[in-house]
Amino acid sequence: MSGSAVPAPTKVTRPLCSGIFPRARLYGLLDQLRNKPALWISGPPGSGKTALISSYIEQKKLACIWYQIDAEDSDPSTFFYYLAKGAEPAAAKRISVPPFTVEYYENPLSFTRWYFEQLCAQFTAPVMLVFDNYQELQEDSVIHTILGAIIGDLPPGIQLVFISRNTLPATFIRLQLNGKIGTITWNDLQLSRNESAGILAMLGRTSEDRVALLHDQAAGWVAGLLLLEAGMELVPSRDFMLTHEPKEDIFQYFAAEIIDHQDQKTKDFLLRTSFLPQMTISMAKAISGLDNAAQILLTLNRRNYFVSRRPGKKSSYQYHPLFREFLLSLAEQSISEEQRQQLLGRAALLLKDSGEIEEAASLFISAGSWSDLINLVLEHAPVLVAEGRLRPLMEWIEKIPTEITKNSPWLLYWLGTCRIFLDPVNSTQMLEQAYQQFADQHETTGLLLAWAAIVNSILLKSGSFAPFHQWIDEFSRLEQYLDKQP
C-alpha cells in the first residue's frame, strides 16, 4: 500500500453546501444550543435538516465528524468502524482504537465509554459529531442505548447532533428533561416568508407575487418550494400540501413532474444512475453511457434539485433518498426486468471497484449475482473478521443459496467463523464440514484455519472437552500437509 492518504468513505464525508441560503434565524438557535451535549433535529424529508447543519458547520468553521447512517450501522462493529474512519480527518493525530469485536457484545457500554474517551481526547477545538439519517437505525439496535448513555459524559466542546425524520425517541426523553439534549423540530425548520424570498432570489425569482404564491403553497417546506419553483404547471392546492402527511406523496407528485420536463437522454441518465447509492462522475458516465454526466449532475446540484455533492479526491454525488426511491420505482415500471438486473450488477461492480463493498454486496444480492458476491466475500472476509465486522459478512453469506454454500469450503469456513460466538454448536458443525472439504481438496491453508477455528468453537461450548482429543489426534495427521509447505 502506498503512503498516500486513503479517502474517507462517502458515508462519513460531510456533504458540501455551496449555493445554500444561509438561515440566520436557525443559526442563532443552533448557537443557543451549543452548550448542550446533544442536539436532536427532526422534520420531514426535504425540510433542510442536513443542509442546515452542514452549512452551519461551514460558516462557523467547526471541526466535524459526519456519519450518514443506514440500516447496516445498527450493528456495533460496523458503527464503530465507520465512526473511526469519519474521525480521522478531524482528529489532531491518527486515530488508534481497537475494533468492536465479538467479545465486546456482552458489555457494549464499557467499550463505548472507553472508546469515546479516546476519541474526544483527539480534539483540541469544538467539534460536532453528526449522525445524519438517524431514523435508519433499527429500533432494537443497541446503538440507541450506548449513545444515550455517553451523552452525559461528553467533555465541553463535543456535541452529538442527531438528524432524523422522527421525533425524539423514548430512550432520549430523560436526557431532554435533564437538560442534556436540545431539540429543533419541524415547527422551527419551516421557512419564514423572508427565508422563502431569500431562497427564490438566489434562483432568480424576485417577483413579490410569485414569492407569496410559492411560499403559501410550499407551507414552509424547503423541498416543496424548490419543486414549485421548477415551473410545474399542475400545482396541488394549499390544503393538499398541508394535510398530506407524510410528505413523501407530495414529493413523488412533484418528482414525476420534474421527470416529465426532461429530455429523453436526461431521463435515461436519471433512471440508470439511480441504481447507484452514490457516484463519482466516472461511475455516472460508466452506467449511463453519457459523456455529459458531469454537466447533468452539476446542474442538478447547483439548483439544489435533490443532488448533494461530497468533497474528496474525487467528488461524489448522491440523490436525495426520496428522489432516488422515486427514480427506482419509475425504473421498475419503464425498464425490463433483464435490463434492471444488468444495471444492478453493473452498479454493484462499480461500487466494488470504488471500495464501497457494503453497497456493492447489497446490489449483488438484489441482482442475484452470486458469483460476484462470492468473489467479494472471499476477497474481503479476512479484513472484515480482523476488524470485528462479522455480522455484515455473515448476512451476505446467508443470502447465498444453501446449495452453493454447502459445497464451498471457504464459504462454510467464513460462515462458521462468524457464528462462533453467536452459535458455537452450529459453528462447529459448519467448520467440520469445511475441514472435510478442504481435506478432500488438499487445501493446506484452509485445513489449518478450519482446525484452529474448530478448537476455538469447542472452547466456547459448555460441557465435555472430550472432542479435544479427536482434534488433537487430527492435528498430528496434518503434519503430512505441513511438510509440503515451502
Q: What angle do CA 143, 149, 153 make, to 5 degrees?
A: 130
Q: Is the pLDDT of residue 424 over 90?
A: no
When pLDDT is cut at 50, 70 and 90, the band that residue 273 belongs to is: very high
Close Cβ partners of 261 (under 8 Å, ≥ 6 residues apart) = 230, 231
Residue tagged 417577483 (cell numbers): 207
When pLDDT is cut at 50, 70 and 90, the band that residue 234 belongs to is: very low
Q: d(Cα 52, Cα 25) in Å, to the nearest integer?
A: 11
Task: Look over the chain and give the mean of its residue pLDDT values, rounded to a whole number.
Answer: 86
Region of poorest pLDDT, from 34-48, 186-200, 221-235, 286-300:
221-235
Q: Is the pLDDT of residue 138 over 70?
A: yes
When pLDDT is cut at 50, 70 and 90, the band that residue 464 belongs to is: low
Find, among 189, 173, 174, 187, the residue nearest to 223 by Cα: 189
The SS3 of residue 441 is coil
Using CA atoms, how far residue 32 sits from 67, 194, 240, 352, 388, in Å, is 23, 21, 35, 43, 40
Region of poorest pLDDT, from 122-126, 248-252, 333-337:
248-252
Q: Is the pLDDT of residue 1 over 60?
A: no
Q: Is the pLDDT of residue 133 over 50?
A: yes
Class of residue 142 by CB neighbours under 10 A (exposed 0-12, middle 13-18, buried 19+): middle
Say which amino acid occupies 146.
Answer: I
Question: Please, are residues 195 and 51 in contact by the beta-carbon 8 Å criterion?
Answer: no
When pLDDT is cut at 50, 70 and 90, the band that residue 37 belongs to is: very high
Mean pLDDT of 159-174: 90
When pLDDT is cut at 50, 70 and 90, the band that residue 274 belongs to is: very high
Q: d(Cα 99, Cα 54) in Å, to the nearest integer?
A: 28
Q: Tens digit of pLDDT for each residue in 203-215?
A: 887 788 888 888 8
Q: d(Cα 284, Cα 292) in Å, to the nearest integer?
A: 10
Q: Tens digit of pLDDT for each residue in 150-161?
A: 998 888 889 999
Find, among 415, 322, 408, 318, the residue nearest to 371 by Cα: 408
When pLDDT is cut at 50, 70 and 90, the band that residue 382 belongs to is: very high
When pLDDT is cut at 50, 70 and 90, the band that residue 486 belongs to is: low
Q: d(Cα 334, Cα 27) in Å, to the nearest integer?
A: 43
Question: Please, are residues 63 and 125 in contact by the beta-carbon 8 Å criterion?
Answer: yes
- Alpha helices by DSSP H, listed for 35-107, are 49-60, 76-87
Segment holding 114, helix H or strand E: helix 108-120
Find, among 249, 254, 278, 253, the residue nearest to 133 by Cα: 278
Say which amino acid occupies 486.
Answer: P
- Give 375-416 as a DSSP string: HHHHHHHHHHHHTT-HHHHHHHHHHS-HHHHTT-HHHHHHHH
Region of poorest pLDDT, from 156-170, 440-454, 471-485:
471-485
What pLDDT score was predicted for residue 8? Answer: 65
Region of poorest pLDDT, from 237-251, 336-350, 359-373:
237-251
Dihedral, CA atoms, 206, 261, 275, 273, nearest 10 degrees? -80
Greater model confidence, 361 or 251: 361
